[in-house]
Every structure is written in structure tokens, then in C-alpha cells.
Structure 1
Amino acid sequence: MNETIKRKVLTRLERCKQCELCVFYCPKKCISFSDEVNSGGYHYTCIDDTVCIGCGTCYIVCPDGVYEVLGS
């Protein structure tokens, strides 16, 4: 059976300043940093959509408004 993974959180890559708060506080530990950098020179975050539960912790702790939690 071929299932499509539903994205629960959108990421604004250009806003990420690699502060690591989201990585530290994510209860599912599904956030990591890309090997690539954004225009500010920071490694931006990537979310593993197969593990993410859409809890919104990243949205709450991010000081730069990187995340948008999508409704179901």
C-alpha cells in the first residue's frame, strides 16, 4: 500500500538562525539541520514528517517565526 506522508508543519527556511531551540524541545526529536545553508548562512531545519505529530512545540519556542503548524 502506497501512503502519502502528510506534512504537519511548514518551515520558512530563510528565517532560521540555527538557534537549536526547536531541536532541543521537540518531544519526538524529528527536527534536524540541513547540510545546506539559507541566505543568512545558517543551516536551516528539516522536519521528519514520518515522525512529527504536529504538536506545535517548534512553533512556540522559535523566536524567529520559522514554523507554521497546519490544521488537520
Structure 2
Amino acid sequence: MPFKGYVEISIENCKGCNLCVIHCPTDCLALNTSDTNSYGLHYAYLTDEDKCIACQNCSVICPDAAITVYKKVE
């Protein structure tokens, strides 16, 4: 059974490359197209915490190490 997880994204380190969104098997990440960080870049965010299975695909693929995945203890 997959774990439940939580994704923490550093908005300032995210450059909006969209790789995490593409590689998320549960589609719980999206690119925020209505807001930008202090560098003027769109950033990824967690859309549905309940869908996250803590697979860590997003944190592994992120070229800027902007994502940390935590496994929830139940």
C-alpha cells in the first residue's frame, strides 16, 4: 500500500520548469500561473495533499532541489 505524503516546495527556489508536475503519478502538483515568486517566475504548488503518495518523483526530478517530500505517519 502506498504511503501518504506531503510536499513542501520552496517558492523562491522553484523556477517553474514544470518537471515535477509532469512526473507526478497522482497529479497532485500544478504550476501556479496566476502568481510569481520574487524572481518573477511561476512556481509549482501542491493542489491536493490527499492524493500525494510520497513517491518522491518530484523531489528527485527537481533540478533546483526546491522540493522536499515527507511521509505521513498514520
Q: TM-score range by the shorter chain?
A: 0.7 to 0.9
User: Among the aligned pairs, what percent are the same residue?
Assistant: 39
Report how far residue 71 of structure 1 moved.
Answer: 3.6
Q: Does 1:53 align with 2:56?
A: no
Q: Distance in 2 between matches of 1:13 and 1:41?
A: 11
Corresponding position of 1:3:
none
After TM superposition, the structure 1 stretch with the greater mean CA deviation from structure 2, 27-36 or 6-15, is 6-15
TM-score for the superposition, normalised by structure 2: 0.80
- The alignment of Structure 1 onto Structure 2 pairs a total of residues equal to 67
- Provide closer, same or farther for how the CA distance between residues 10 and 54 of structure 1 changes in structure 2, counting only shifts above 3 A: same
Q: Root-mean-square deviation (CA), in Å?
A: 1.6
Q: Given that residues 5 and 53 in structure 2 are in contact (C-alpha distance below 8 angstroms), is that contact kept between their aligned partners in structure 1? A: no
Q: Does 1:26 align with 2:36?
A: no
Q: Distance in 1 between matches of 2:51 and 2:71?
A: 17
Q: Which runs of 5+ in 1 are unaligned?
A: 1-5
Q: Deviations over 1:17-66 (max 9, x none)?
A: 11111111111111111221001111111112121111100000000011
Q: Distance in 2 between matches of 1:56 and 1:71?
A: 10
Q: Which runs of 5+ in 2 are unaligned?
A: none
